[in-house]
């Protein structure tokens, strides 16, 4: 239901009621904000809810819709230019839906990556059992008894409990040979990207001159920070899955078709892409989304300055340390 609200300029938030009051004989279809000069359709301003993007998670009506819109949303977000051409300043936003979607997606990916890690661990022990069974008949009975103690008992809860616990809490908990550092590198890069986005927010808001000149509502900048800042976190879960694949690749060689080198190249491309994407997102937001006529060298300077967000990323990681220690203690306490 469209709610009656004060019509404001989508870009700067200037109250357009005065403008509407001057209409006497006819209603124009488009208007120009007297404050910032932004041109818009009056229908979008007086009734913003008429803009509904059928592919976008922020416009989803239910959790089921959220998940159904995952692939189209990711596909359009992949190229920030495309995203900002579709998501104009008039488009109503729901950051709550966006964050709910991201949380649900992380949860689903976490379950999938946990399953992948458990499968890799189980596969390793299964193969080891098979090779012991093969050697068994050829050795003397004294040695057979030793070999028998190396056989993993899959029917025991003592086998599954630490395996499942480790897979759930990995990489904070590492008991098996998983550790390649992939998910940690992914988490580190994602945090660096968050730091860069926070820096863009600071650059946009801390200097009143910039904001006064661009006449941009703070809400636009905050939303961009949330959308760009948290999306790279998904790669942490992808890192966990890659870690399981590499582990499996190590013991399944040469029967497994995945070469570790392909995975390492994928990781390299992902890391590079995350940083390029974050910068691209902010440049696309400035030029396409918010239609700010910035000179190219201004954008270059902003991009360079945004890397000052790295220390912020360092602070976030330091703040995470007590949580990490708490999880380690918790794991020991429950016997993982």
Interface residues with Zn ion (CB under 5 A) are: 9, 11-12, 14, 33, 35-36, 38
For residue 45, the minimal CB distance to Zn ion (Å) is: 10
Q: Which is nearer to Zn ion, 16 or 278 (CB)?
A: 16
CB 231 within 8 A of CB 77: yes
For residue 202, the minimal CB distance to Zn ion (Å) is: 23
B/e letters for 173-202, b = 16+ CB within 10 Å, e = fewer, are beebebebebbbbbbbbbbbbbbbbbbbbb
Q: Which is nearer to Zn ion, 9 or 201 (CB)?
A: 9
Q: Which is nearer to Zn ion, 41 or 132 (CB)?
A: 41
For residue 220, the minimal CB distance to Zn ion (Å) is: 12
For residue 58, the minimal CB distance to Zn ion (Å) is: 22
Q: Which is nearer to Zn ion, 99 or 294 (CB)?
A: 294
Tell me the CA distances in angstroms from 102 to 24, 73, 157, one per residue in order.
Answer: 47, 11, 33
Helix or strand (DSSP H, E) at 32: strand 30-32
Q: Which two tokens stand for residue 273?
A: 């892409």
CB-based contacts of 317-320 (< 8 A; 24+ apart in sequence): 317/188, 317/191
Q: Which is nearer to Zn ion, 175 or 211 (CB)?
A: 211
Q: Which is nearer to Zn ion, 84 or 178 (CB)?
A: 84
Burial class for 225, CB neighbours closer than 10 Å (0-12, 13-18, 19+):
buried
Residue 291 region by backbone torsions, left for phi larger than 0, else alpha for psi between -120 and 50, else beta: left
For residue 216, the minimal CB distance to Zn ion (Å) is: 9
For residue 259, the minimal CB distance to Zn ion (Å) is: 55
Give the CA angle between residues 35, 37, 43 to the nearest 5°: 95
Give the count of beta carbons closer than 10 Å to the beta carbon of residue 63: 12
């Amino acid at each position: 239901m469209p709610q009656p609200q004060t019509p404001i300029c989508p870009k700067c938030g200037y109250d357009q009621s005065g403008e509407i009051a001057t209409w006497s004989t006819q209603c124009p279809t488009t208007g120009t904000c007297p404050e910032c000069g932004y041109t818009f359709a009056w229908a979008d301003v007086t009734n913003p809810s008429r803009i509904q993007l059928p592919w976008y998670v922020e416009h989803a009506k239910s959790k089921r819709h959220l998940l159904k819109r995952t692939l189209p949303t990711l596909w359009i977000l992949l190229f920030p230019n495309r995203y900002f051409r579709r998501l104009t300043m008039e488009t109503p936003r729901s950051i709550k839906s966006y964050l709910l979607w991201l949380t649900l997606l992380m949860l689903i990916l976490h379950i999938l990556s946990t399953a992948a890690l458990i499968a890799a661990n189980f596969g390793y022990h299964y193969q080891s059992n098979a090779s012991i069974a093969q050697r068994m008949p050829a050795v003397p009975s004294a040695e057979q008894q030793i070999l028998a103690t190396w056989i993993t008992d899959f029917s025991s809860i003592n086998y599954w409990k630490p395996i499942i616990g480790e897979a759930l809490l990995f990489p904070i908990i590492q008991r098996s040979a998983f550790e390649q550092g992939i998910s940690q590198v992914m988490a580190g890069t994602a945090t660096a990207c968050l730091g860069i986005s926070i820096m863009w927010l600071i650059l946009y808001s801390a200097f009143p001159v910039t904001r006064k000149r661009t006449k941009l509502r703070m809400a636009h900048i905050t939303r961009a920070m949330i959308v760009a800042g948290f999306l790279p976190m998904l790669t942490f879960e992808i890192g966990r899955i890659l870690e399981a694949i590499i582990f499996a690749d190590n013991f399944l060689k040469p029967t497994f078709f995945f070469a570790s080198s392909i995975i390492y190249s994928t990781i390299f491309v992902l890391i590079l892409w995350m940083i390029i994407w974050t910068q691209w997102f902010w440049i696309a937001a400035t030029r396409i989304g918010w239609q700010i006529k910035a000179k190219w060298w201004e954008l270059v300077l902003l991009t360079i300055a945004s890397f000052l967000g790295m220390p912020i990323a360092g602070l976030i990681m330091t703040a995470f340390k007590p949580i990490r220690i708490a999880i380690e203690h918790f794991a020991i306490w429950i016997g993982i």
